[in-house]
Amino acid sequence: MKIQKEWSVFLLSLGYFDDKEKVKKRQPHKRKDEKVVKKESLKAVYEKFIDFKIKQNLRPNTLNKFVVTFNSLEKFHATRSEMPLYLNNITTNFISDFVHWLKNDCVRFEGNRYTPDHAKTKGLSDASVETRLKNLKTFIGWCVKEELILKNPFDKFEGFKKDEHTIDILTREELNRLLKVAKDYSKKSFKHYRDFVLLHVLIDCMFRITEALLLAPSDIDHVNKTIIIRPNNAKSRKARIVPLSNKTYRLLVQLLEENEAFEGEVDDLIFLSLSGRMLGKNNVLRDLRKYAEEAGIKKRFYLHLIRHSAATHYLESGDIESLRKILGHSDLRTVLIYAHMADNTVAEKHSEHGFFSANNTISRKRDNKRK
């Protein structure tokens, strides 16, 4: 009996592993060299990225562009899935589809209560698509550097090809008509005179509108008749000195004298609102558009158009290096856009220096009969 019991136990032990359910390996025997990446939501990672950019002392306007890019990513993902958006969702195909959505389906100015409904059309401009794509690329590059992702999805991205942007500049005649209308209004009130001087400065110095509105009286060098753009007011964060024409300088001096009529505390600026504060860009645009309409200008008018137009006309007689210094661009390639825009200059240079240029200056008379 004892022997039979021991034998049954032995038989049980032999079939022990056969009777149990087989379980597959949950962990591979060999370890991989790749780093195991923790799955984080895109929002959590993007917040760290924004904090990093804040520490880099980026301007609020630049930071806002990164935020706009993130909002676009979330809106696009919502059209494809109800699941949260994670960092590892951003693949090469995701980027390609995102660009297509921006170009064809993204609504312009969506959520902006100050923009009329008729302006909220589908599809962003090529420049807007390129900006958001550039911001996304910067973010992904930071993620790779921080080892938050193993591979950069942009490595296999074929890119976004945009149409070359042409700018319809104001002619010299149109600029003179605009100045004439502003000058006629300048006799009516301080506000109109201030706008006339501001227009003169924008054309003469080719400033960005923000640079002009942040000018202080101490920025004028009365000895050399120049004006300085300080690093904290420049887009490039580099100071530059720009010469003033005699007429623009006289107008500025007259405006400074009229600013003394303000009572109480005012901002330390050249161009002041009637309350003694900094002028708003939208208010300036509204007033100058009114002048442009009266001047018979049919082209789409915006404040940066003045800078584009003045820079293009400068190249008709000036050189590109001095223009680069006046505009405040560090890269000469950025200034080359104005060289492409100056079609009249190109035609004149071709007439003077082209292969058949001699034929343009020699006048010949001949008999009409062929021999």
Query: Domain limits of the chain?
Result: 42-156, 172-353
Task: Choose between 320 and 269: higher pLDDT.
Answer: 269
Checking if the pLDDT of 370 tops 50, the result is no
What is the band of 44 on the pLDDT scale with cuts at 50, 70, 90?
A: very high
Q: Active-site residue 193, yes or no?
A: no
State yes or no: is 235 an active-site residue.
yes
- Mean pLDDT computed over 125-135: 92
Report the side by side order of strands in the sheet with 226-229: 220-221, 226-229, 240-243
Query: What is the rounded CA–CA span in Å between residue 343 and residue 340?
Result: 7
Answer yes or no: is pLDDT of 186 > 50: yes
Q: Over range 118-127, report the average pLDDT.
A: 87
Instruction: Give residue 106's pLDDT.
Output: 93
CATH of domain 42-156: 1.10.150.130
* pLDDT, mean of residues 193-220: 95
- Rounded to whole angstroms, the Cα distance separating 271 from 39 reads 52
DSSP sequence for 9-66: HHHHHHTHHHHSPP---SS-SSPPSSPPPP--BHHHHHHHHHHHHHHTT--HHHHHHH
84 Cβ contact partners less than 8 Å away, ≥ 6 residues apart: 41
Q: How many CB atoms lie within 10 A of CB 98?
A: 21
User: Lowest-confidence range among 78-87, 216-225, 361-370?
Assistant: 361-370
Residue whose entry in the numeric block shows the structure tokens 């390609």: 96
Residue 277 is among the residues annotated as catalytic for this protein: no
> Helical H runs in 216-327?
246-259, 281-294, 303-314, 320-327
pTM for the model stands at 0.69
**371 classed as catalytic:** no
45 has pLDDT over 50: yes
Q: According to the model, what pLDDT value does residue 355 have?
A: 59
Look at residue 108 in the predicted model and tell me its pLDDT: 87
Per-residue model confidence as pLDDT tens digits over 151-183: 999 999 988 887 666 668 899 999 999 999 999
Active site residue 307: yes
Q: What does CATH list as the number for 172-353?
A: 1.10.443.10
Catalytic, 208? Answer yes
Residue of 65, 183, 230, 235 marked catalytic: 235
Find the angle CA(365)-CA(368)-CA(370) to the nearest 5 degrees. Answer: 115
Tens-digit pLDDT profile for residues 271-293: 999 999 999 999 999 999 999 99
Q: Tell me which of 156, 304, 340, 349 is the catalytic residue.
A: 304
Q: What is the pLDDT of residue 185?
A: 94
Question: Which residue from 283, 287, 289 is spatially nearest to 302, judged by alpha carbons?
Answer: 289
